[in-house]
Amino acid sequence: MKIIFSIYDSLKNPYYGGGGARSTHEIAKRLAKNHWVTILCGSFDDTGSEMIDGVHYRYVGVPFVNPKLGQLIFILLLPFYASVEQFDIWFEHFLPPHSTTFIPLFTKKPVVGITTILHASEFAKKYKLPFQIIEKFGLTKYRHLVVLTESLKQKIKKSSPASTIDLIPLGVERRYLRLKKQVISTPYILYIGRIDIEQKGLDLLLHSWKEYQGKARTPIQLKIAGSGLKEEEKKLKKLIRRLKVKDSVELLGTVAGSQKAKLFSQALFCVFPSRFETFGLALLESMATGTPALIFDIPGFSWVAKSAVTKVKMFDSKSFVREMIRLTENKNLRQMIGSRAKQFAQQFDYDAIAHQYQQLIVRLAT
């Protein structure tokens, strides 16, 4: 069968290259063993198309433009591709700011909406535009939806009660599950993910870090790994200078492969202070390596067992600092949470996740 995934982000996208892109590729390359799989993603250079791990990538849009403009062009072009492409099933990853891109209105073939993002209300607050109205209306046009968490499933049922909803989470690569923790002489705390001050809560993290520095008994470093839009990276550097924590914060930029795995395995623990998430792949990867994680108790992280992570009340910076200190100073606590986290993450193996997609494809094809 001919399968299409549409998602603006991709493995090589220099502006994002996030969890959604990695997850889509891992699923697609497994499905490609039995199907012809194409990923339609946003263009960022002069590469028109290429094959990666048996998956056909086609880059749609205008290259060398601002990524926000590139995403807008991508959204506008998708209906055209939906009306002219030859395919059997289309998996549409929702995109900011209004999530849905209305692909079912432009084809009679099965379209499955994947709720990798469903935060139009947050973007409405940011941009002062009614994106949540578009999102709510758009959801009603999908007969088939994939959600990443049970909380999202319940939310969507209210907006689109007639839709068939499958709960299929993101997955984790086995190499993370096989990793063992390493002890090094210069311990650090790790944030890894997209550089996005508002969504990822990096301002909350840095303010907490400044307070932590005044209370911690042992000097320790915060490593921030990841990339984002240039303006977001500039904001981050400016905030670090303003808070005068430059000497204790290291910006690593984009990390991948063995470097990323090594960062996880050597970190004392990870911090993910997001204001909102749909799932949180970096959190799952941290857990898979047996690295404890500290998070705010937001709805997007409700899928994580409380015993497998350290959760604090949403945006309570004082509690966040207190738990950072506790995790830093208590080795037994880190080992206990890390062990539980690794065990919990076993269920998210990508082979099992891809099998759920294969079952959905068979069901839609009959």
Examine the domain organization and report whether 92 and 139 are in the same domain.
yes
Report the alpha-carbon distance of residue 151 to residue 148 in Å, rounded.
9
pLDDT in tens, 325-350: 999 999 999 999 999 999 999 999 99
- Cα dist from 306 to 310, 347, 348, whole Å: 7, 16, 17
Q: What is the mean pLDDT of residues 187-202?
A: 96
Q: Which residues share a beta bridge with 59?
A: 41
- Sequence-distant (6+) residues with CB within 8 A of 114 are 91, 92, 93, 94, 145, 146
The single-letter DSSP state of residue 94 is -
Q: Which residues share a beta bridge with 293?
A: 270
Examine the domain organization and report whether 154 and 9 are in the same domain.
yes
Which of the two residues, 250 and 217, has the higher pLDDT score? 250
Examine the domain organization and report whether 228 and 288 are in the same domain.
yes
Examine the domain organization and report whether 324 and 361 are in the same domain.
no
Examine the domain organization and report whether 118 and 232 are in the same domain.
no
- Burial class of residue 287, CB neighbours in 10 A (0-12, 13-18, 19+): buried
Report the alpha-carbon distance of residue 216 to residue 329 in Å, rounded.
9
Which of the two residues, 249 and 160, has the higher pLDDT score? 249
Tokens of 52: 């990666």
Q: What is the mean pLDDT of residues 30-53?
A: 96
Tokens of 352: 């099992």
Examine the domain organization and report whether 186 and 148 are in the same domain.
no
Report the alpha-carbon distance of residue 222 to residue 267 in Å, rounded.
10
Report the alpha-carbon distance of residue 211 to residue 314 in Å, rounded.
18
How many C-beta atoms lie closer than 10 Å to residue 21's C-beta?
22
pTM given for the model: 0.89
pLDDT in tens, 246-289: 999 999 999 988 899 999 999 999 999 999 998 999 999 999 99
Q: Which DSSP string corresponds to 106-124?
A: G-SS-EEEE-S---HHHHH
* Residue-level pLDDT at 168: 96
Examine the domain organization and report whether 13 and 160 are in the same domain.
yes
Residue-range definition of the domain harbouring residue 132? 2-171+349-365
Q: What is the mean pLDDT of residues 40-64?
A: 94
pLDDT in tens, 119-155: 777 878 877 888 888 888 889 999 999 999 998 898 8
CA angle centred on 187, ends 263 and 315, rounded to 5°: 80
Tokens of 307: 């015993």
Helices (H) and strands (E) in the chain, counts: 14, 14
Q: Look up residue 79 and give its amino acid.
A: P
**What integer best gives the mean pLDDT of the chain?**
94
Is 314 a residue whose pLDDT tops 90? yes
Ranges assigned E (strand) in the chain: 2-6, 36-42, 49-52, 55-60, 89-93, 111-114, 144-147, 164-167, 188-192, 221-225, 249-253, 269-272, 293-296, 310-312
Examine the domain organization and report whether 241 and 162 are in the same domain.
no
Examine the domain organization and report whether 149 and 247 are in the same domain.
no
- Number of domains comprising the chain: 2
Examine the domain organization and report whether 130 and 204 are in the same domain.
no
* Residue-level pLDDT at 98: 83
* Residue-level pLDDT at 259: 93
* Residue-level pLDDT at 5: 98
Torsion, Cα 275 278 279 280, to 10 degrees, reads -50
- Crossing angle of helices 281-288 and 19-31, in 10° steps, is 70
Examine the domain organization and report whether 131 and 252 are in the same domain.
no
Q: What is the mean pLDDT of residues 218-236?
A: 94
Q: What is the mean pLDDT of residues 74-78?
A: 95
CB 1 within 8 A of CB 89: yes
Q: What is the mean pLDDT of residues 233-257?
A: 96
CB 89 within 8 A of CB 112: yes
Examine the domain organization and report whether 287 and 320 are in the same domain.
yes
Q: Which CATH number do you get for residue 84?
A: 3.40.50.2000
Cα 299 to chain centroid, rounded = 14
